[in-house]
Structure formats: structure tokens, C-alpha cells
Amino acid sequence: MAQNKIDIEQVKQVAKLARLDLTEAEISQFTTQLGAILEYVEKLNQLDTSKVEPLAHCLPINNCLRADEVKESLGTDKTVTNAPQTDGRFFLVPRILEESGGF
């Protein structure tokens, strides 16, 4: 097996930055898995792609968006019709912040 291009310390650093609390077993597993991914990418880097045209989409589609036209809006009554809770004009949603405003 080829040498991994990523080591345990790098995985720990990425986990710390992502605020992931990984076990030692997970760190070891991810180091092996990420090393295998990097080995595969290295194989792909060996391919000659100089004559391959870059593409933004896998299908030959050009600007399939509709025309931007001004239209009448739904209006408040129709907009809130299917809302689980409203106060008549606005959507009511569960409170997610505490009264103190602190985070």
C-alpha cells in the first residue's frame, strides 16, 4: 500500500477546525480513507487532459432559464394561505433566540 498523503495530525486539525469531536478510532479510519481518496486523485492527475475541453454542465444546455418578466405578485392573502400559523399578515415561526438576546 502506498504511503498516505495525509497524516493523523492533519485529520485532527481539520476535525478541530470543523468542531468535530472524533474518537481515536474515527481519526485513524478517516486518515486511511482520506489517504485512499488522495491516492485516487493522484492517479487522475496522471491523465492527459490537455485536449479535453472544460465544461460547466454535462449536457449541451445553453441558458435554459425563463425570461425575467415583471408579473403581479400573489398578494398577502394567497401567500400565507398554506402557512401552519399566521397572525393574518405574517408567518408565525417558533422562537429560536432567548429573550436576553445573548447567544
What does the pLDDT look like over 4-44, one tens digit per residue?
Answer: 589 999 999 999 999 999 999 999 999 999 999 999 999 98
Q: What range defines the domain where residue 37 resides?
A: 8-45
DSSP label at residue 58 = S
Report if residue 13 sits inside a domain: yes
Mean pLDDT of 70-85: 90
SS3 call for 15: helix
- In the structure, what pLDDT confidence band is assigned to residue 101 with cuts at 50, 70 and 90? low
Q: What average pLDDT does this structure show over 61-73?
A: 84
Nearest 5°: the CA angle 83, 84, 90 is: 50
Question: Is residue 19 included in any domain, yes or no?
Answer: yes
Is 68 domain-assigned?
no
Is residue 1 predicted with pLDDT exceeding 50? no
CATH assignment at residue 24: 1.10.20
In a domain, 14, yes or no: yes
Residue 23 contacts residue 57 (beta carbons within 8 Å)? no
